[in-house]
A and B are shown apart, each in its own frame.
Chain A
């Protein structure tokens, strides 16, 4: 920087921010140049203005919100708590509806003995393994492709939907904890 050059805006800002590498040169120039000295004091006036801004007081005590909550977790969104309450209510209704079924229908079902049950499970398992080991890819035409019984596929779809909702719901609930 030549002494005859005026100080640039960038230099002036850096000087006031204590980020300037050539402070001595700038100060020498300021001593001899009224124009740059005036620009400096204008910028200083802005700094003073910004410094003069008083602190305002809070109208609520934020700390109370932390100590009054027993758990330190953020409030869940309203719709989520509402959905959870609705789910709980639905489950309760389902339980009440199911009580007659359990008390009336259940005793009428003849329960097989434990060994019978085990034996049955074993034979089902054996037949499964058998079927698997003997399984051959069907060499049918595409039109003859075997299809699942309707009940089974709807069950799968229902399971998939429930899983998606479950994962989504839990993801939302856990999002704040994992951040």
Chain B
């Protein structure tokens, strides 16, 4: 027997099948967690928000449109929740210190990759909340300008200006000649 589709699992979860919803969460949790982690740059907060995303999704499961795919939907819910979270909790001064680095040592090239990733994550975390989410939706969720405007309920001109300014700031941080 083939593995059940997301659609099957949603139908079963709607009827109160917790096992089915657990399976759905298992499938998408890493993707959702990574969205939260890219936006929040804090592992504990990202896990909380990923959890919150699945709780919200469960609450709204009856409104889910079966014509659409579950994955893009849940990913947008996550991005929106993170934005709300950032706006409600102004970043603490200790953000930089609680950066989440893997402490296991690894040889040469891997260290470089890890360092670069960390630089990119730090650069993303230095952006204002709206810029971060626009970058997330454009670069990692591959939404169009129109879709981003609709998703965040902001004018198209704001989508463009947020995105272009965000890229300028990122380029300054990441490609500064040193």
How many A-B residue pairs lie within 8 Å, measured between CB atoms? 98
Count of B interface residues, CB-CB < 8 Å: 45
The answer to whether the Cβ of B107 comes within 8 Å of any Cβ in the partner chain is no
List residues of chain B with CB within 8 A of the CB of A66: 18, 21-22, 25, 54, 58
The answer to whether the Cβ of B30 comes within 8 Å of any Cβ in the partner chain is yes
Complex formed: what's the CA distance from A177 to B16 in Å?
14
The answer to whether the Cβ of B120 comes within 8 Å of any Cβ in the partner chain is yes
**Chain A nearest CB, measured from B22 CB (Å):** 3
A24-75, CB < 8 A from B: 42-43, 45-47, 49-67, 69-70, 72, 74
The listed residue with most B CB atoms (<10 A of its CB), out of A52, A65, A66, is A66
Q: Is the CB of A13 within 8 A of B47?
A: no
Binary contact track B139-178/A, C-beta < 8 Å → 1, others 0:
1100011000000000000001001100110110011000
The answer to whether the Cβ of B7 comes within 8 Å of any Cβ in the partner chain is no
- Interface of chain B, helix or strand or loop or mixed? helix
Residue of B nearest to A13 (CB): B164
A46-B175, A53-B38 known; A59-B47 Cβ under 8 A: yes
B78-120, CB < 8 A from A: 113, 116-117, 120
The answer to whether the Cβ of A2 comes within 8 Å of any Cβ in the partner chain is no
Q: Is the CB of B120 within 8 A of A50?
A: yes
List residues of chain A with CB within 8 A of the CB of B59: 176-177, 179
The answer to whether the Cβ of B37 comes within 8 Å of any Cβ in the partner chain is yes
Binary contact track A12-27/B, C-beta < 8 Å → 1, others 0:
0110010100000000
List residues of chain B with CB within 8 A of the CB of A63: 22-23, 25-26, 29
Which chain B residues have a beta carbon within 8 Å of chain A's beta carbons?
A: 16, 18-19, 21-23, 25-26, 29-31, 33-34, 37-38, 43, 47, 50-51, 54-56, 58-60, 113, 116-117, 120-121, 135, 138-140, 144-145, 160, 163-164, 167-168, 170-171, 174-175
- Can you pick out 20 interface pairs between chain A and chain B where the beta carbons lie within 8 Å of each other? A13-B164, A17-B138, A45-B175, A46-B175, A49-B170, A50-B140, A53-B117, A55-B30, A58-B30, A61-B29, A62-B26, A63-B26, A63-B29, A64-B22, A65-B51, A66-B58, A67-B22, A72-B21, A176-B59, A179-B56
